[in-house]
């Protein structure tokens, strides 16, 4: 278990997916550009290929772990992580149920 204090260290913010494309070196990964309310969009690498059509992702609001240490996934740096739920073979992104500004903090 983690403490409430440890949980409070997570920086969860809203983001808007600006673009999505296939990862050139991975069968299940997509490369996303996500507006999290910062000066430049973040690049996120996510295992969503086969679960979402690229055209459906663009414009979608999502929840991003913004203070996760960047990691290279098959040669592409991912600057955060999207929150999703998996139920068997179904993957569903966690999204706000109302329009919110990019960069809004999840509380």
Does 16 reside within a domain? yes
pLDDT (tens, 9 = 90+) of the chain, 107 residues, equals 999 999 999 999 999 999 999 999 888 999 999 999 999 999 999 999 999 999 999 999 999 999 999 999 999 999 999 999 999 999 999 999 999 999 999 98
DSSP 7: H
Q: Where are the beta strands (DSSP E) in 1-107?
A: 12-22, 30-35, 42-46, 61-65, 71-73, 76-78, 81-82, 84-87, 90-93
What's residue 27's pLDDT?
87
Q: Which domain holds residue 38?
A: 4-93
Q: How many domains does the chain have?
A: 1
Look at the block and give the residue holding tokens 């969009």: 41
CATH number for the domain harbouring residue 24: 2.40.50.140
């Amino acid at each position: 278990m983690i403490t409430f204090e440890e949980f409070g260290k997570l920086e969860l913010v809203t983001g808007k997916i600006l673009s999505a494309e296939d990862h050139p070196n991975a069968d299940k990964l997509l490369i996303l550009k996500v507006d999290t309310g910062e000066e430049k969009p973040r690049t996120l690498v996510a295992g969503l290929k086969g679960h979402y059509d690229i055209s459906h992702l663009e414009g979608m609001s999502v929840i991003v772990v913004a203070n996760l240490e960047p990691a290279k996934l098959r040669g592409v740096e991912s600057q955060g992580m999207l929150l999703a739920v998996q139920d068997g073979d179904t993957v569903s992104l966690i999204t706000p149920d109302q329009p919110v500004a990019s960069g809004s903090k999840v509380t």
